Amino acid sequence: MLLKQSFTVGKCIPSERQLAEKYGVSRATIGRVISELVSEGLLERKWGKGVFYLGSQPKHIFVLFQVNSMMRSANPNSWFVPLDILKGILAASRNRITVDLCETADEILKLASPPLQGVIKMGDDEEQLKKIPENLPCVLVNCHESSTLPSVRCKVKEGVAKGVAYLIGKGYSKIAYIGGPLSNTSQRLRFEGYRDAMIGKGLPLVQEMIIECSYGSDEGEKAMSQILDTGIRPDAVMCADDLRAMGAYQAVKKAGLSVPKDVKLLGFDDVPDAINFEVPLSTLRYPRFEMGEKAVEMLTGIINGRSDVKLEEKLEMKLVLRESC
């Protein structure tokens, strides 16, 4: 009990020798207590660095999202996103925390009995959030809408800007953009990243090379054909997702052109099929697994009342270069 009450969450505790001297017991006794607390999830042993106090772990985490969104048939564009985030949540829970998947806030309310419980909400769904009581801590993950709730997001706009800046740095100046409806916040952020990178480098935004279309490879192919039909040949294309990029590739190929020789392609998402595409697709990958891990870490900090816990985390995107650019 003394060990549980004497340390600051997140900090390294004194050595076994120091603890033995402080409490007047043997190092073997302290070693056994530490091992027990590690198994309970209150302490974490980091080899070469020491033992860190984690505080009380949540006993129950409710993950609120549409379960069928992980099915390719129901969500062909981004089925892997909630799956990878969930993998991160489960990994961070380390089999010490019960994790329940719920599709509605009503399901959570039937099961929840605070304290030491909390909710991780994936994606955007304001109506469900309104039903979660204030005494049940909630962390949003991969939610692009603005909110006062703690959140874990990735730097979508900055990520796209990084990708476009890379293309510009390679000497390409006629860079087209194929993306989704700007009424969607995530899609709008991707376009803003493209726009900011182009304007920041003094390059014009050519309206004929900017196409807003629906989701899917077929729509990407139509959009790329529309650009090529204007007689303008872009030397690179930034696509708001990998499926549109794969469709754009087909349009380039049908026009008798080659990727990457004539046109460079850059996607977004790093879908599982991107690396095995006909021309392996360069893309922007956001840290889905890490977002899940970070959400558990944030929720644990909130439950423990830690004053140093960050209530907003924005993770960097990674530019993954393959053969398409």
pTM here? 0.82
pLDDT tens track for 221-259: 999 999 999 999 999 999 999 999 999 999 999 999 999
* Domains, the chain, with CATH or none: 2-53 (1.10.10.10), 60-154+288-316 (3.40.50.2300), 156-285 (3.40.50.2300)
Which whole-number Å values give the CA distances from 16 to 8, 21, 31, 49, 69, in the listed order? 17, 9, 7, 13, 48
pLDDT tens track for 58-85: 889 999 999 888 888 788 888 999 999 9
Average pLDDT over residues 124-136: 85
Check residue 55 and give its pLDDT. 72
Which whole-number Å values give the CA distances from 173 to 116, 197, 240, in the listed order? 54, 11, 18
pLDDT at position 5 over 60: no
pLDDT tens track for 27-42: 999 889 888 888 777 7
Query: Which residues have C-beta within 8 Å of that of residue 65, sequence separation ≥ 6?
Result: 82, 101, 103, 121, 122, 123
Cα(210)–Cα(191) distance, rounded to whole angstroms? Answer: 9
- Residue 29: phi and psi, rounded to 5, are -65, -45
Check residue 36 and give its pLDDT. 85
Cα(254)–Cα(197) distance, rounded to whole angstroms? Answer: 29
Assigned token pair, 43: 């302490």
Q: 3-state SS string over 244-277?
A: HHHHHHHHHHHCCCCCCCCCEEECCCCCCCHHHC
Cα(191)–Cα(179) distance, rounded to whole angstroms? Answer: 7
Q: Which of 216, 220, 213 is nearest to 252 (CA)?
A: 220
Q: Which of 135, 134, 142 is nearest to 64 (CA)?
A: 142
Other C-beta atoms closer than 10 Å to the C-beta of 71 total 12
pLDDT at position 119 over 90: yes
Q: 3-state SS string over the chain?
A: CHHHHCCCCCCECCCHHHHHHHHCCCHHHHHHHHHHHHHHCCEEEECCCEEEECCCCCCEEEEECCHHHHCCCCCCCCCHHHHHHHHHHHHHHCCCCEEEEECCHHHHHHHCCCCCEEEEEECCCHHHHHCCCCCCCEEEECCCCCCCCCEEEECHHHHHHHHHHHHHHCCCCCEEEEECCCCCHHHHHHHHHHHHHHHHCCCCCCHHHEEECCCCHHHHHHHHHHHHHCCCCCCEEEECCHHHHHHHHHHHHHCCCCCCCCCEEECCCCCCCHHHCCCCCEEEECCHHHHHHHHHHHHHHHHCCCCCCCCEEEECCEEECCCCC
pLDDT tens track for 258-306: 999 999 999 999 999 999 999 999 999 989 999 999 999 999 889 888 7
Assigned token pair, 197: 């990178």
pLDDT tens track for 159-207: 999 999 999 999 999 999 999 999 999 999 999 999 999 999 999 999 9
